């Protein structure tokens, strides 16, 4: 075997200081391992959440509101001028998407889009002395089944029961528990408009998203219109796309065409994605801090080695080794610690993930969403990123003292060694 | 006989002190091939400073140092490194052996930097050198397992590894007992005689200095007899 001289010197120095070498490798490994495990956890959760949203929530919704208030005719009459108008009051019109059914039919013509027109509104469900306010969605069961996953989310009863029993109602699993209602229970449904209906529970759904399972119910569109006293009206058009990535483009196209506020799923969940971004920044800061600490460890060790090996450096330079050779000896030590740390860290990260996955966690009640065990997102990306980062950090930490070592003058050391 | 080293009006002044300190003043010196030269003088007379200049570890403040026809003054560091690697062998008072490396590996260090030989050839040459210096069985021992005299002989073997033009020894017997000091000087005599090597050594010991072909006397940074 004939390794390059700086490499064999670097190896000899690392082996000569076994304890410190192992400790600094462990430091890097920790950083890398946690980077991988925490990234997988974080991204796994995000991915799970996005999947859930795509699964449960409509990809695009059109709402009965405008993004900006309508422009007054007088302002249109005098463009580029200041118009003062007093006593302006919005027109008191029946709320809802005007011509909603027609719009829904038009959208349904677009390829790869399923449409469900809905009238949603607040109602009280009363059962056995309990009052619960919920959001009641008036739906067309066939269209809703095509535009959502309600069919798969049914855990009791059937969606088609609404067709045979026009006063049927489908409630979320959490809601059913809250009310103590089971299939066949007869609920009193009271709307703010003062309409009261007796409705029979014909189905129970479970989506996994707490907000929906505890606060949402479905009934026929006509029943909802009766309860809300809004005949022939809808206030929500749900759309489901074959290709979820088209959501934003389709939303803005529809909004431009019809004027009603239309949101893709990304926009609807903007606040949560913002939160995700914040989480990622926090995580990266923590992991970065671990790597910086590991880097300081390496810096410290290389500095100590250089101090101890001043005599070696002196004789090597007298023999004719160049500055770059000397630099290489110590930078290589950092690189090797970085590589060893990264490899060990990969194993550690993998192990941590196995461990995390095996722990059951019970977040089924009252929390944000239902999770039964850690969602991990496994990707080579995390391994590559953490490895590159570790080797880079280790090399820089070693380079700083190595540069100083290369500048040592052999004469100064020889003089003091005698 | 060819000239190995030629010094012309060489002086060395430390200028970064509060008061400039003159270490060497107007040195003119020629050393020929195969010569065994001893540099003697009281401490502080500039012996080591002269050594460092001759070994291209330091640069003169004025004057020229011509090594085997090459003027080294103000030569770039890369040229000096090459010259040190190929032409000069160093032995110091302290052995400067790398403690993690066996005697054999220590001797092979300069050869591995030069890369003129294959690995097995380097190994063979290192073994021959050990043999020549009477250390046949010490090859696989670490410096810590050798006696002081053995260590210094390994250091000399390492200095000879690349078959340099001249050997530069700075108080090589300073840390040794009389017997080992005598042995080291016998080796220098042998190198000069058998291998026609130029040997330049500093010593305090007049008896040892007397064994050299020529003595160079330094007093207060100036040559007294050359």
SS3 of chain B = CCEEEEEEEEEEEECCCCCCEEEEEEEEEEEECCCEEEEECCCCCCHHHHHHHHCCCCCCCEEEEEECCEECCCCCHHHHHHHHHHHEEEECCCCCCCCCCCHHHHHHHHHHHHCCCCHHHHHHHHHHHHHHCCCHHHCCCCHHHCCHHHHHHHHHHHHCCCCCCEEEEECCCCCCCHHHHHHHHHHHHHHHHHCCCEEEEECCCHHHHCCCCEEEEEECCEECCC
> Rounded to an integer, what distance in angstroms lies between the CA atom of residue A9 and that of residue A312?
10
SS3 A368: coil
The confidence score (pLDDT) of residue A363 equals 64
Q: Which residues of A touch B (CB under 8 A)?
A: 1-2, 5, 8-9, 12-13, 15-16, 311-312, 314-316, 318-323, 325, 410-411, 414-415, 417-418
Return the residue in A4, A14, A316, A319 with the most chain B beta carbons within 10 A, the one to mutate for interface testing: A319
Mean pLDDT of all residues in A7-28: 90
Q: Which of B188, B187, B208, B175 is nearest to B39 (CA)?
A: B208
Identify from B113, B165, B175 which residue to disrupt to test chain A contact, counting A C-beta atoms within 10 A and taking the largest count: B113
CA distance B166 to B181: 20
List of chain B residues with pLDDT < 70: 1, 225-226
3-state SS assignment for residue A109: coil
A75: number of CA atoms within 13 Å, CB side?
A: 10
CA B139 to chain centre: 22
- Reply yes or no on whether the pLDDT at A365 is more than 70: no
Q: What is the SS3 assignment for A49? A: helix
In the block, residue with structure tokens 């054999």:
B104
Strands B214-219 and B222-223: antiparallel
Predicted local distance difference test score (pLDDT) of residue B42: 87
Q: Considering only alpha carbons, which residue of chain A is nearest residue B173?
A: A418
Nearest CA in chain A to B108: A5
- Of residues A2, A312, A320, nearest to B98 (C-beta): A312
Residue B121 CA to residue A415 CA, distance in Å, equals 34
Give the pLDDT confidence score for residue B226 in this predicted structure. Answer: 47
Strand positions, DSSP E, A285-397: 360-363, 371-373
Q: How many CB pairs under 8 A join A and B?
A: 72
Helix (H, G, I), strand (E, B) or coil at A378: coil
A267 or B226: which leads in pLDDT: A267
pLDDT single digits (tens) A320-340? 899 999 999 999 999 999 999
**Which residues is A236 bridged to in the sheet?**
A63, A118
Residues from chain B that touch A414, judged by Cβ atoms under 8 A, are: 52, 57, 92, 94, 96, 170
Maximum separation of any 2 CA atoms in chain A, in Å? 104
C-alpha span between B25 and B3 (Å, rounded)? 22
CB B31 within 8 A of CB B53: no
Distance CA A240, CA A264 (A): 10
Beta carbons of B100 and A16 less than 8 Å apart:
yes
Contact between A414 and B92 using a beta-carbon 8 Å cutoff: yes
- Please report the pLDDT score of residue A388 as a whole number: 92
Residues B160, A154: Cα–Cα separation, whole Å? 89
Chain A residues with CB inside 8 Å of B48's CB? Answer: 415
Among A55-69, A103-117, A338-352, B177-191, name the one with the lowest average pLDDT.
Answer: A55-69
Q: Characterize A334-361 residue by residue with b for buried, 16 or more Cβ atoms within 10 angstroms of its Cβ, and e for exposed.
A: bbbbbbbbbbbbbebbbebbeebbeeee
- Comparing alpha-carbon positions, the chain A residue that sits nearest to B77 is A322
- The ipTM assigned to this model is 0.90
With contact defined as beta carbons under 8 Å apart, do A181 and A187 qualify?
yes
Nearest to A74 by CA among A66, A86, A85: A85
Mean pLDDT value of segment A298-320: 90
Residues of chain A in contact with residue B93, where contact means CB-CB under 8 angstroms, are 417-418
| pLDDT, mean of residues A177-183 | 90
Q: What is the mean pLDDT of chain A?
A: 88
Q: Which of A16, A319, A414 sits opposite B84 (nearest CB)?
A: A319
CB contact under 8 A, A318 and B171: no
> Per residue in A209-263, pLDDT tens?
888 889 999 999 999 999 998 888 899 999 999 888 888 899 999 998 988 899 9
A366: confidence class by pLDDT, cuts 50, 70, 90: low
Q: Which of A1, A2, A311 sits opposite B96 (nearest CB)?
A: A311
Q: Packing angle between helix B103-114 and helix A5-16, nearest 10 degrees?
A: 150
| CB half-sphere exposure, A265, CA atoms < 13 A | 20
- What is the tens place of the pLDDT at every residue in A393-412? 999 999 999 999 999 888 88
Using CA of residue A159, residue A162, residue A164, residue A165, what is the dihedral sign? positive
Q: Using the beta-carbon criterion (under 8 Å), do A319 and B109 form an inter-chain contact?
A: yes
Most B-contacting residue of A316, A414, A415 (CB-CB within 10 A), to test interface: A414
Query: Of the candidates B80, B70, B56, which has an alpha carbon nearest to the alpha carbon of residue A323?
Result: B80
Using CA coordinates, name the residue in chain A closest to B49: A411
Q: Which residues of A touch B84 (CB under 8 A)?
A: 318-320
Return the percentage of chain A with pLDDT > 70, whole number: 95
pLDDT, residue A266, reads: 86
Question: What's residue A283's pLDDT?
Answer: 83
């Amino acid at each position: 075997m004939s390794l390059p001289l700086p490499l064999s010197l670097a190896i000899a120095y690392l082996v000569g200081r076994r304890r410190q070498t192992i400790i600094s490798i462990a430091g890097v490994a920790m950083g890398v391992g946690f980077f991988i495990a925490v990234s997988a956890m974080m991204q796994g959760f995000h991915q799970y959440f996005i999947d859930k949203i795509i699964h449960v929530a409509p990809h695009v919704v059109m709402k009965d509101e405008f993004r900006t208030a309508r422009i007054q005719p007088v302002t249109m009459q005098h463009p580029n001028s200041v118009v003062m108008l007093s006593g302006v009051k919005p027109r008191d019109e029946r709320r809802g998407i005007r011509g909603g059914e027609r719009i829904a039919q038009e959208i349904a013509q677009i390829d790869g889009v399923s449409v469900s027109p809905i009238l949603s509104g607040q109602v009280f469900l009363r059962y056995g002395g309990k009052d619960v306010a919920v959001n009641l969605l008036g739906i067309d069961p066939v269209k809703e089944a095509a535009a959502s996953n309600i069919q798969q989310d049914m855990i009791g009863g059937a969606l088609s029961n609404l067709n045979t029993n026009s006063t049927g109602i489908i409630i979320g699993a959490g809601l059913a528990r809250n009310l103590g209602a089971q299939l066949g229970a007869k609920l009193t449904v009271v709307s703010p408009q003062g309409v009261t209906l007796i409705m029979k529970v014909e189905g129970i759904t479970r989506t996994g998203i707490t907000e929906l399972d505890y606060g949402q119910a479905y009934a026929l569109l006509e029943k909802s219109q009766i309860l809300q006293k809004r005949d022939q009206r809808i206030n929500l058009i749900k759309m489901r796309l074959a290709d979820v990535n088209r959501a934003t483009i389709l939303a803005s196209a529809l909004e431009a065409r019809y004027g009603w506020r239309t949101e893709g799923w990304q926009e609807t969940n903007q606040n949560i994605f913002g939160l995700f971004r914040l989480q990622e920044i926090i995580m990266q800061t923590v992991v970065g801090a671990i790597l910086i600490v590991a880097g300081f460890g390496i810096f410290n060790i290389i500095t100590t080695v250089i101090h101890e090996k001043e005599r070696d450096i002196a004789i090597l330079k007298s023999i004719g080794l160049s500055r770059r050779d000397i630099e290489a000896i110590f930078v290589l030590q950092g690189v090797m610690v970085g590589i060893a740390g990264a490899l060990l860290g990969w194993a550690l990260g993998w192990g941590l993930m196995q461990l995390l996955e095996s722990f059951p966690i019970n977040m089924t009640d009252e929390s944000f969403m239902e999770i039964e065990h850690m969602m991990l997102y496994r990707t080579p990306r995390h391994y590559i990123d953490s490895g590159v980062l570790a080797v880079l950090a280790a090399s820089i930490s070693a380079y700083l003292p190595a540069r100083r070592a290369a500048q040592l003058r052999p004469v100064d050391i020889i003089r003091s060694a005698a | 006989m060819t000239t190995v080293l030629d010094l012309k009006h060489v002086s060395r002044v430390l200028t970064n002190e509060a008061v400039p300190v003159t270490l060497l003043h107007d040195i003119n010196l020629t050393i020929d091939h195969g010569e065994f030269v001893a540099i003697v003088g009281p401490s502080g007379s500039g012996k080591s400073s002269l050594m460092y200049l001759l070994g291209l570890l330091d640069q003169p403040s004025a004057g020229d140092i011509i090594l085997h026809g090459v003027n080294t003054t103000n030569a770039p560091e890369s040229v000096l490194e090459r010259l040190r690697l190929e032409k000069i062998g160093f032995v110091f008072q302290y052995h400067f052996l790398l403690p993690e490396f066996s005697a054999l590996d220590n001797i092979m260090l300069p050869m591995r930097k030069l890369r003129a030989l294959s690995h097995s050839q380097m190994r063979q040459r290192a073994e021959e050198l050990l043999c020549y210096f009477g250390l046949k069985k010490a090859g696989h021992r670490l410096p810590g397992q050798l006696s002081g005299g053995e260590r210094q002989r390994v250091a000399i073997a390492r200095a000879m590894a690349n078959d340099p033009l001249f050997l530069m020894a700075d108080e090589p017997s300073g840390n040794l007992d009389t017997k080992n000091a005598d042995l080291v000087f016998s080796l220098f005599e042998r190198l000069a005689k058998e291998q026609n090597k130029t040997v330049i050594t500093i010593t305090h010991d007049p008896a040892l200095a007397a064994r050299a072909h020529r003595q160079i006397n330094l007093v207060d940074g100036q040559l007294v007899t050359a």
